Every structure is written in structure tokens, then in C-alpha cells.
Amino acid sequence: MQAPPTPPAEPSALPEAPASAAQATAAPAATSASAPASVAPANSPYPALFPAIADACARADYSRVASLAEADDVHVSSNHDQHRLLITAPLVLANLILDDLPLAKFALFRLPGPLVDLPLSRALFGLTASVSERRHAHVYERAAELRSLVTSPDFSESVAFGQTLITLTDAFLEAFRERVFTLVARAYTSVPVQLAQAYLGWPQEQVLLIAQAHNWGYDASTQILTPTHRPSTAGAFNLTSTPSTLAAFERITDNVAALEA
């Protein structure tokens, strides 16, 4: 497993987008809005390109998804065709799975103005912004909103496209949680279970299951998780003396980020 998502050297903000798209980082995506596609132009190149991406996704070959979608997104020119999202949406999600945040942002940056305001685009902007800002709780909320959008009856794209986005979203959540848990396990000798829940976006029962799978112990009387094999890193932190407050959560995020510097 790799380390958690690392903000790039450049400013972490997403590329500038119209105000309505930027608001997606602070407000839930509009799941009741009409679908992000219209009737494809007769010469639209994107529907013919999507099956290869869907096939790579079905094989869980997310590097291939990213490379195919990147090539199509860069070399195929049909800027105002709403079916461009058949390529851009898998590209963004595949790069988030691969922990390549700069490429995910750049894919969104390339969207032309008329496409930025579409519900699917706004959902992708919101998710990518939350990952960039390391706002863990918001990451899970935005992913749930994206999933709700593509499973809504109002989402008029093909079933195959919707299923591909669901698969990619679920794979991203799994990869994101693994990266977060690995770094927290490496950084701390103990952590309150409530804080682990905030990081992983899971109820206590699921947190305890994954903790056990990663050789962590659990003291039910103190609700503290501890690694069976304590890390030898000199800079490891013990959080049991501090309550699991928002301030503590933010402090943990900053300390963990410092380990990556």
C-alpha cells in the first residue's frame, strides 16, 4: 500500500472554474439535476472510445484506464460535446485511484466552460477538491454524492457508463482508505477509535475489522487502537492523552502530512 494522497508542490486549489462549479467543493452535488449528457452529435467521437476504457475498468486495470482516457482526452478534439465526460470522468477517477492528484486536477482544468457546469463535472470537482484539501469526511460525502448522481433515474447516460463510474468510485474509496490507514498506522503508536472512524469514514465495527487485519489491537475500556507491532519511527505520536476533537483531528492531519515532506 502507498502513502495517503499528497498535495502537489503547486497551490492545492483546483483550476479556476465558473462559480457554480467551485461551489461544489462546499455544497452537496445536485443529484436531482438532469443528467450530464445530451443527444450525441452524429460525429461525436467519444461513444466509440468509451468501450475500451470500460473494459480496462472491468479488469481493474486502472493504470490502463488512465492512459487510454488521457490519450483520448488530449488528442480528440470535440470541446463542446457533452459526451466528452465519457472520457474525462473515468480519467479523473482513475488518477484519484492511482494517487495522481495533479493529473486528476489537470483533466478537470481541460474541460471547456460549457461542460464545467454539468452535474457530473461539479461532482468531480467537489471530490477532487476534498481529496486535495485532505478533508477526509468530505471525501466520503462527495464520493457518496457522485455515486448517487450516477445511479439516479435522471442520469440519462448508458448503464455501462454509470456502472463504470460506480466501479471507479468504489475502487477509489478502497484505495484512499488503505492509504490513509497505512500512514496513520505508521505515524502513531495509538489512536482513539473515534478518530480512526473520522479518517476512514466507517462505523466502529468496520474500523475494528480493518484494524485487526492490519495487526492493531483494541482496548474496549479506553476505546484506543494500538498496533501489535509498534512502529520504530522516532517521530511517531501517541494521541491517547488528547480527546478526539476537531482540533486534534486537524493536528493529526498536519503531522501526518509533515511525514511526507
pLDDT at 231: 47
What's the distance, CA 32 to chain centroid?
A: 21
Question: Three-state SS string across the chain, please?
Answer: CCCCCCCCCCCCCCCCCCHHHHHHHCCCCCCCCCCCCCCCCCCCCHHHHHHHHHHHHHCCCHHHHHHHHHHHHHHCCCCCCHHHHHHHHHHHHHHHHCCCHHHHHHHHHCCCHHHHCCHHHHHHHHHHHHHHCCCHHHHHHHHHHHHHHHHCCCCCCCHHHHHHHHHHHHHHHHHHHHHHHHHHHHHEEEEEHHHHHHHHCCCHHHHHHHHHHCCEEEECCCCEEEECCCCCCCCCEECCCCCCCHHHHHHHHHHHHHHHC
C-beta separation of 22 from 125 below 8 A: yes
Give dist(CA 155, CA 184) in Å, integer: 37
C-beta separation of 236 from 189 below 8 A: yes
Give dist(CA 67, CA 107) in Å, integer: 12
Residues written for the chain? 261
C-beta separation of 187 from 236 below 8 A: yes
pLDDT at 15: 45
Tens-level pLDDT at each residue, the chain (261 residues): 444 444 344 434 454 444 444 444 444 444 333 334 444 556 788 899 999 999 999 999 999 999 999 999 888 766 678 899 999 999 999 999 999 999 999 999 999 888 999 999 999 999 999 999 988 889 999 999 999 999 998 887 788 999 999 999 999 999 999 898 888 888 788 899 999 999 999 999 999 998 888 888 999 999 999 976 554 444 444 444 444 444 555 555 555 554 444
Residue type present at position 254: D
pLDDT at 74: 85
pLDDT at 42: 61
Give 56's contacts (C-beta < 8 A, 6+ positions apart): 62, 64, 65, 68
Give dist(CA 125, CA 92) in Å, integer: 9
pLDDT at 256: 53
Burial of 40 (0-12, 13-18, 19+ CB in 10 A): middle
